Amino acid sequence: MNNLKILAILCFSLAYPSLLSAQDTVNISDTIPTGQKQPNKITGAISIAVSSAMIVYGALSFNSGAIRQLDYSTKNELLEDNSMWHNSWDNYLQFSPAVAAFGMKLCGVNSTHKMPDMLILYGLSNILEAGIVSSVKYATSRERPDGSNHYSFPSGHTATAFVAAEFLHQEYKNQSVWISIGGYGMATLIGASRVYNNKHWVSDVVAGAGIGILSTKIVYWTYPYLQKVFCKKEKQLTSFIVPTYDEGGLGLSFISVF
């Protein structure tokens, strides 16, 4: 099978669940009369079902011969002629949807939250995602397709990219569905590049996408309660540390908002 066809199928497989969630949000919003509260419980149930299914798919690859066979067959097909392009841009573009979110905020585009809250939400989402990803990597010890180490499952790059994409969606979903599509599309390309560069199996990136989306949703769902507990009065300085995971190594990023 042609490599471009494989890549296109992989991109569609990753993007479709995310775009389905985004489109459901828009469709429901369009059918609710002005001034009437949207059924957030319905959209929330759809979203958690989609992201959970992606994680379950990845987990089943450890016991399902069919899913694992798809991992191997995709790798073999790509290795037949994998000289078109190798890249390292996924190391940087995994954050691009979040950069877009903050950039639009600085340009005056209305978002769901104020800038300090956006930074906290994005930071907490990455903390949760990084904790889950690093724990599962060490617990499963799956070897990468290229044999470089045993930290293949799930894909940390993909999880980080989908945290950023879901963050962009949560902040600007009431502006335009195309903003969400752009964010999810970029995250999907990151996931596809991890497979194409022989760094991850298909099931790794599918699970990583689900973890990224679900981690961000959990933070957004719980943030109002966290505000009540920890933010009884507004502070002038907001600071937090965001852990990052890259190629088997843990790192820390410090963010401070005045």
Task: Please answer whether residues 184 and 11 qualify as being in contact, where contact means their C-beta atoms are separated by less than 8 angstroms.
Answer: no
Enter the pTM of the model.
0.80
Average pLDDT over residues 10-14: 55
Average pLDDT over residues 88-108: 94
253 has a pLDDT exceeding 90: no
37 has a pLDDT exceeding 50: no
Average pLDDT over residues 103-122: 96
pLDDT for the residue numbered 205: 96
Q: 35: domain range?
A: 3-257
Count of structural domains within the chain: 1
Q: CATH number, domain at 101?
A: 1.20.144
Q: What is the pLDDT of residues 126-163, one digit of tens each?
A: 999 999 999 999 999 999 999 999 999 999 999 999 99
108 has a pLDDT exceeding 80: yes
Task: Please answer whether residues 44 and 26 qualify as being in contact, where contact means their C-beta atoms are separated by less than 8 angstroms.
Answer: no
Nearest to 115 by CA among 104, 126, 125, 124: 104
Nearest to 212 by CA among 103, 117, 98, 69: 98
Q: How far apart are CA 228 and CA 148, in angstroms?
A: 45
Contact residues for 220 (Cβ-Cβ < 8 A; gap 6+): 121, 125, 170
Instruction: Look at 80 and 175; give whichever has higher pLDDT.
Output: 175
Nearest to 242 by CA among 99, 164, 128: 128
Query: Ramachandran region of residue 32, left (φ > 0), alpha (ψ -120 to 50) or beta?
Result: beta
Contact residues for 227 (Cβ-Cβ < 8 A; gap 6+): none
Q: What is the pLDDT of residues 22-36, one digit of tens each?
A: 554 444 344 344 444
Mean pLDDT of the chain: 81
Q: What is the pLDDT of residues 177-215, one digit of tens each?
A: 999 999 999 999 999 999 989 999 999 999 999 999 999
Percent of the chain with pLDDT over 70: 70
pLDDT for the residue numbered 31: 39
